[in-house]
Chains A and B, each alone.
Chain A
Amino acid sequence: MSIKDAAQAVMKKAVQAAPDGWMPGGTPDPLIRQKHGLIGKPVSRLDGPQKVSGTARFAAEFPMENMVYAALKYSTVAKGRIKELDSAAAEAAPGVVLVMTYRNAPRMKPAPLFMSSDKAAGGDDLPIMQDEEIHWNGQPISLVLAEAQEQADYAKSLIRVTYETEPSVTVFEDAKANAEQGVFQGQPLLLEIGDAEASLAAAPHKVDVVYRTPRHSHNAIELHAATVGWDGDNLRVHDASQGVAHGAWSLAQVFGLEEAQVHVTSPYVGGGFGSKALWQHQILAAAASKVAGRPVRIMLSREGVYRIVGGRTLTEQRVAIGAQADGSFDALIQTGMVAMGRHNNMPEPFILPAMSAYKSGSFKLAVEAAKMDMLANTFMRAPGEAVGTFALESAVDELAESLGMDPIELRIRNEPEKDPTSGVPFSSRHIVEAYKAGAERFGWAARKAKPGTHREGEWLLGMGCATATYPYYRMPGGAARITLTKDGRATVEIAAHEMGMGTATTQTMVTADRLGLGMECVTVNYGDSHFPGVVLAGGSQQTASIGASVIAAHRELITELLKLAGKDSPLAGLDADEVTGRDGYLCKADELGRRESYVSMMARIGRDEITAEATAPPPLEFTHWSMHSHGAMFCEVRVNAVTGETRVTRFLGYFDCGRILNPKTAASQFRGGIIMGLGLALMEETQFDERNGRVMNPSLAEYHVPVQMDVPEIDVIWTDIPDAHAPMGAHGVGEIGITGVGAAVANAIFNATGKRVRDLPITLDKMM
């Protein structure tokens, strides 16, 4: 079910219900107006001391008594069946406790495929070590448990397998012949307004070109890992997870358990970017643990991550823009093809940016999926947008060049007043301001309009820009619990995640402001499937989801508090909307002197603690408004005229993402996204050998991600204009940073050299 579907399904009921503050028909979150609090202050991470001292424990770092270590062996063919599998030597090897194969693995159901229901977390829905069938090159075919990791690894190397291969589709060109309409979140990736091809043909100015982006791997530095154990029929999982509630429910489906029988915790996640979902390793570890009767620690090798954790798929995108001499678009076409695994549903939706970026007389946007026998491709930071903006924003630059117009001016001329494809108003959109202020700050005026004319020694200099865009999401199911204790402290519990976004810190600030408490009086607990809420750390929706959940729980708490405090309290007779928290007191909002401290109220009530739990209202806001984050991205490069090497020397991201809650951690999120975008632009590619569907650079030495020396000082700044229709006025900031970067770099390279590269990554050979 799609996010929008889910929203619409509950909409009918909800419309009658009183809408909460910032919801359609209501007033904005009161926190937006509040200027005296913690929001907007640069606060250092609360988990910083643990992280810098090595005391923060990640998934593979929880010891369990009597634990054994796992190693996985992977298939080497793309399709077929196991003919012979000889594990005798492995079983006899020192320290080996179990060799699990399809022959002795317990019966399990496939994992529920991510997005097939609200708590589904599986990367694919294939059988897991249940039969001889091979579905991709790299599929786990055997798991070894041993007393020590060295023993498990060695025993694994003794397993001998032969295969009967079957014809497979591992060549993209072959797969294209049988491509299907891409369907994303229940909606076909197809949108036509007017006759775009005819308008294009008739337009006096046009670009019509094809862009290509390769496969990518998330490459979180923490290897995928889990420590699992059974207590009777209860499964305990220390996971690295972007969705603990999703993981617990999905594991329960696999093993035929009640959801509550599976307990997943994930206090720290060493980077996710979309990759830390439920893949086969957690399931196989749990299965092996069941068979062996001992807890299991599994940590994939780096190669293992490439073999069994999907990444971003490749795209081939045609972008055609037809325009008048003044630059106004008559036609905007973005169509093309992505490769997709047969057992997942992620047709990299690269047309999403084009749905709202520009106004145009006509649109034709479509994604087709070419099914291949390959590892399930999946969500990776800004799925769709990261690669879609590369093509779209490169094409806009190409059009500007052919019109002889400044590319910023061209964008401003096509700025829509309302969402150009859905027709609904924007909730908040200040991209023009961002461009103008960004151009000023970056020194855009110094850019040479004529490409290839700025040279210093061997180096050619150039500047480029591009628009960043990513939607505001909030998925249904968010819920939170708040407990207020008699000493005036509050604890929030929510099944949310901290993967480095700064969630724990930021939400502590927000909750403290909401309650009118100091940060030291607020604790936010997360990363535990037993906590309330279904809160995915993905789609940049976590901030809004937690925000909405805490608003709801907070309202319950205050209502309860006021009710219990009774008529002797100075606040008697007021309801939750009439009070506000300040300095440890609840105060009448428009008469701050009328107040009572939480400690005093709790004493009056005579309770040690009061707990309130509530579910966030359904996400109606983005059915009423077109909600997006934006950014104006500016890049300066140097390209070596001798060797073709590109160095990014300056980068500015000017963002419009609503109110920024914690500038310190938000800046890091922006920069982190931009740096991953530099990788996408210049060096990243998962090399998929089309002869056998095997990833050939499954290593951080061979798959290049940016190193310290590749990264200049990155300037990030923001409009800080709150979005009245979002909780706290804020948008998530995790993914916007990577969008637009590929094009900003490619456009800068064009400006430096006059050479247009439409095929990522822009490695030096393409510049020669």
Chain B
Amino acid sequence: MNSFTYARAVDSADAVRQGAAVNAKYLGGGTNLVDLMRETLERPSALVDVTGLSSAITEREDGSILIGAAAKNTAVAENKAVRTRYPLLARAILAGASGQIRNMATVGGNLLQRTRCPYFYDDEGSRCNKRVPGQGCDAIQGFNRIHAILGASSACVATHPSDMCVALAALGALVHITGSDGQRTIDFAELHVLPGENPEVETTLRPGELIIAVEIPALPFARHSVYRKVRDRASYAFALISVAAAIEIDSGVVKDVRLALGGVAHKPWRALKLEAALTGQPATDENFRAAADQELADAKPLTHNGFKIELAKRTIVAVLAELAGDLS
């Protein structure tokens, strides 16, 4: 780890001011950043601690919920409104990491955590286009069981590891951002990007921009929603595949559906094709399967991760069937 200065931001303006310094980085709980700094994958010269900024979780009149970026993962999962109105979000958070880590991790940091690709982590011994653009990717011919099946490129096959983000993608959340050019709000789907030729670029945030809050729109049918995570051990492991879903069914017909996949791509994967295919269709297992097939039609397996395609489809069907069963 290189040396750095440390300062706490008193408000978001202060944070942005400090964050504009060369090579500064915002610090949330530090559960990802400190690890990456120790691995010398991140080498900031200034840390701006943003955990003192808003962590409020507010229910607003339009039915949306605003969650301050400094809110701890635990606090979001514990929040009564989140638990009852968006169980998929509470469940996604609780399925992630461990109790200790959730007590430290912030919403802002969770959004921006980086991939767990072992070749990315192996700073000294492996090639990675994220670390050194243009260097090559050792994962493509290496161990790639945990890697992407959708939206990958010849430069990068890494996945985004977050559970919480999968739920936020399904919910169509908004991300409130501030920076030296002022505030802006973007769709959650616009925050993370696919790797393309520049996998070192992971989000659409501009240099120095700060996430101040995540907004979850009112989505009444999300009361019946689930998050299902499939992994190599029963707890404290990243997802091989995860599915966040909510569905609204009216007399056996899908009125609305939201579904996102984790563990499949460089970003939390909102299943728009599946959603379009299912809407207006009878809520049957056959239709769920057909829609899942459609969503994964473009999936491309690597040497070790081909199982994820079928696993994703099966998990999607099981999750939707479970929700449909609850509702009927």
Report whether chain A binds chain B.
Answer: yes
Q: Kindly specify which of A32-40, A368-376, A475-483, A641-649 makes contact with the partner chain.
A: A641-649
Determine whether the beta carbon of B232 is less than 8 Å from that of A764: yes
On chain A, the residues within 8 Å of B235 by CB distance are: 707-710
On chain B, the residues within 8 Å of A215 by CB distance are: none
Cβ of B221 within 8 Å of any chain A Cβ, yes or no, is no
Cβ of B237 within 8 Å of any chain A Cβ, yes or no, is yes
On chain A, the residues within 8 Å of B314 by CB distance are: 642-643
Determine whether the beta carbon of A764 is less than 8 Å from that of B234: no
Which chain A residues (655-706) contact chain B, with CB distance < 8 Å? 682-683, 687, 689, 691-692, 694, 696-697, 699, 701-702, 704, 706
Closest to B124 in A: A76
Q: Kindly specify which of A1-9, A113-121, A150-158, A358-366 makes contact with the partner chain.
A: A150-158
In whole angstroms, how far apart are the Cα atoms of A689 and B138 in the complex? 10
Determine whether the beta carbon of B125 is less than 8 Å from that of A692: yes
In this complex, how many residues of chain A approach chain B with their Cβ under 8 Å: the count is: 35
In whole angstroms, how far apart are the Cα atoms of A644 and B318 in the complex? 13
Determine whether the beta carbon of A691 is less than 8 Å from that of B141: yes
Cβ of B219 within 8 Å of any chain A Cβ, yes or no, is no
Determine whether the beta carbon of B233 is less than 8 Å from that of A154: no
Determine whether the beta carbon of B230 is less than 8 Å from that of A643: yes
Cβ of A458 within 8 Å of any chain B Cβ, yes or no, is yes
In this complex, how many residues of chain B approach chain A with their Cβ under 8 Å: the count is: 36
**Among A697, A709, A768, contact of B118 (Cβ-Cβ < 8 Å):** A697
Determine whether the beta carbon of A157 is less than 8 Å from that of B40: yes
Cβ of B3 within 8 Å of any chain A Cβ, yes or no, is yes
Nearest-neighbour CB distance to chain B for A493, whole angstroms, equals 41
In whole angstroms, how far apart are the Cα atoms of A753 and B125 in the complex? 41
DSSP majority for the B interface? loop
Closest to A688 in B: B143
Given that A708-B235, A764-B240, A768-B310 are known contacts, is A696 also in contact with B315, CB under 8 Å in the complex?
Answer: no
Closest to A701 in B: B116
Determine whether the beta carbon of A458 is less than 8 Å from that of B318: yes
In whole angstroms, how far apart are the Cα atoms of A768 and B314 in the complex? 10
Cβ of B307 within 8 Å of any chain A Cβ, yes or no, is yes
In whole angstroms, how far apart are the Cα atoms of A536 and B48 in the complex? 52
Cβ of B45 within 8 Å of any chain A Cβ, yes or no, is no
Determine whether the beta carbon of A150 is less than 8 Å from that of B143: no
Map CB proximity to A onto B232-272 as digits: 1 under 8 Å, 0 otherwise: 11111110110000000000000000000000000000000
In whole angstroms, how far apart are the Cα atoms of A767 and B97 in the complex? 25
On chain B, the residues within 8 Å of A427 by CB distance are: none
Determine whether the beta carbon of B142 is less than 8 Å from that of A763: no
In whole angstroms, how far apart are the Cα atoms of A765 and B318 in the complex? 17
In whole angstroms, how far apart are the Cα atoms of A554 and B10 in the complex? 71
On chain A, the residues within 8 Å of B234 by CB distance are: 647, 707, 709-710
On chain A, the residues within 8 Å of B119 by CB distance are: 696
Determine whether the beta carbon of B232 is less than 8 Å from that of A683: yes
Determine whether the beta carbon of B1 is less than 8 Å from that of A74: no
On chain B, the residues within 8 Å of A642 by CB distance are: 314-315, 317-318
Determine whether the beta carbon of A645 is less than 8 Å from that of B230: yes
Cβ of B197 within 8 Å of any chain A Cβ, yes or no, is no
Map CB proximity to A onto B90-128 as digits: 1 under 8 Å, 0 otherwise: 000000000000000000000000001011011011100
Closest to A708 in B: B235
Determine whether the beta carbon of B233 is less than 8 Å from that of A768: no
Closest to A645 in B: B230
In whole angstroms, how far apart are the Cα atoms of A763 and B241 in the complex? 14
Given that A76-B124, A137-B125, A701-B116 are known contacts, is A689 also in contact with B142, CB under 8 Å in the complex?
Answer: yes
Determine whether the beta carbon of A768 is less than 8 Å from that of B311: yes
Determine whether the beta carbon of B125 is less than 8 Å from that of A76: yes
On chain B, the residues within 8 Å of A707 by CB distance are: 233-236
In whole angstroms, how far apart are the Cα atoms of A687 and B304 in the complex? 13
Q: Which 9 A-B pairs give the minimum distances between C-beta atoms?
A: A765-B307, A709-B235, A76-B125, A709-B234, A696-B118, A642-B318, A643-B230, A710-B234, A642-B314
14 more A-B residue pairs beyond the given contacts A643-B314, A694-B122, with a C-beta to C-beta distance below 8 A:
A76-B124, A157-B2, A642-B317, A643-B241, A683-B232, A683-B233, A691-B138, A691-B142, A696-B122, A704-B232, A707-B233, A707-B235, A707-B236, A764-B307
Point out residues on B near A: beta carbons under 8 Å: 1-3, 38, 40, 116, 118-119, 121-122, 124-126, 138, 141-143, 145, 230-238, 240-241, 307, 310-311, 314-315, 317-318
Point out residues on A near B: beta carbons under 8 Å: 74, 76, 137, 150, 153-154, 157, 458, 642-645, 647, 682-683, 687, 689, 691-692, 694, 696-697, 699, 701-702, 704, 706-710, 763-765, 768
Interface CB pairs A-B, < 8 A, 16? A76-B124, A76-B125, A153-B38, A458-B318, A642-B315, A642-B318, A643-B241, A643-B315, A647-B234, A689-B138, A689-B143, A696-B142, A697-B143, A709-B233, A709-B234, A764-B311
